[in-house]
Copies of this chain bind each other. A is one copy, B any other.
Amino acid sequence: MTDNSVANGAAPGVLGASMAAETAQQPEVFERILREGSAAIRNVARKIGARRPRFVLLNARGTSDNAAMYGKYLFEVALGLPAGLTSPSTTTVYGARLDLRDVLMITISSSGSSPDLVESTAVARDCGAMTLALTNTPGSPLTEVAALHLDLLAGAEDALPATKTYTAELLTLYLLVDALWGGRGEAAAELPRLARELLARSDEVTAVAERYRFADRLISTGRGYAYPTARQAALLVMETSCMAAHAYSGADLLHGPLTLIRPDFPVLAVVPEGEGARALVPVLDRLLELSADLFVIGEPEAAARGAVSLVLPSGLPEELSPVLEILPLQRLAYEMAVGRGRDPDSPHALRRVTRTR
């Protein structure tokens, strides 16, 4: 890894070298989590199981907030536990003291340093919540205030756009919920191999990046488990190519943003095999009626409806698909940015640790 993420003026030859390297490292990260992280995850699951939480709150910002949304679906669908995303400002701006008995609060932050997340976690613990921190930084302030901690094991991340820490957050949440079910992560065993094969299909991604050469807007969409992927893809493209890229759940898209769609408006639809794909069919119908320019990443039938497409390997359960399906989209964001002469490692105006309260 180079340190060109630190300077803004990286030489053209190494634009996005860190983002490219970190994207490529993900199969190894998955192996490491499955090999070295599983015992700690099962141990945390045992402690959570013993407390029998009634509600789950997920506390995060930015990229990790997309992982939090994935966690919300997992806890609700797989465990039947109602889950919500927090607004940290409730605590940090308004000083609210919530009754959090029987609540599990999971705070997700790669750096473990955002002051609002640290403070809201400390207050939640004080208000009776069982607190768990997911960070990529053991010893960070967040790991000090949370009762429980899981290390993401992703290794140092130098590029500002989050790639491997995002998928590490997803996989850790998956394994945690699986362990709460009494599983041992068997369904994830194939993930490193599938990730490697998918990352090798770079030509297909390059073709999409070429298509988007002059796009200055993008809407992404998905439903259910695929919606966090649509959000993370939009965030990556926005950060790295400085485009107006925005995600809407398939349902919300029909409630307003659809009015933006004109012929040739680029729309990225995430449609992996499963229930979410079936629910997205009427949304795809409507987008095609409006002649949107559709890029579908997903199962073959939906993919066949796209002007361009990338077919995902079959066989993973729908709830694991988000760990895989984001990989080509990370690569897409990287290629689009480099194609525009931008350094995806250090987007204009952004800072690594965001200090808000």
A residues at B contact (CB < 8 Å):
54-55, 57, 61-63, 65, 72-73, 76-77, 80-85, 87-90, 92-94, 96-103, 116, 217, 223-224, 227, 235, 238-239, 242, 244, 246, 249-252, 254-261, 275-276, 278-279, 282-283, 286, 290, 347-351, 354-357
State how many angstroms separate the Cβ of A83 from the closest Cβ of chain B.
Answer: 7
The answer to whether A256 touches B276 (Cβ under 8 A) is no
The answer to whether A252 touches B62 (Cβ under 8 A) is yes
Which residues of chain B have C-beta atoms less than 8 A from A63's C-beta?
Answer: 255-256
State how many angstroms separate the Cβ of A77 from the closest Cβ of chain B.
Answer: 4
Q: Chain A at the B interface: mostly helix, strand, loop or mixed?
A: mixed
The answer to whether A96 touches B80 (Cβ under 8 A) is yes
Work out how many copies of this chain go into the complex: 2
State how many angstroms separate the Cβ of A298 from the closest Cβ of chain B.
Answer: 15
The answer to whether A251 touches B290 (Cβ under 8 A) is no
Which residues of chain B have C-beta atoms less than 8 A from A84's C-beta?
Answer: 57, 82-85
The answer to whether B77 touches A96 (Cβ under 8 A) is yes
The answer to whether A354 touches B61 (Cβ under 8 A) is no
**A85, B71: Cα distance in complex, Å:** 14
State how many angstroms separate the Cβ of A305 from the closest Cβ of chain B.
Answer: 18
The answer to whether A224 touches B93 (Cβ under 8 A) is yes
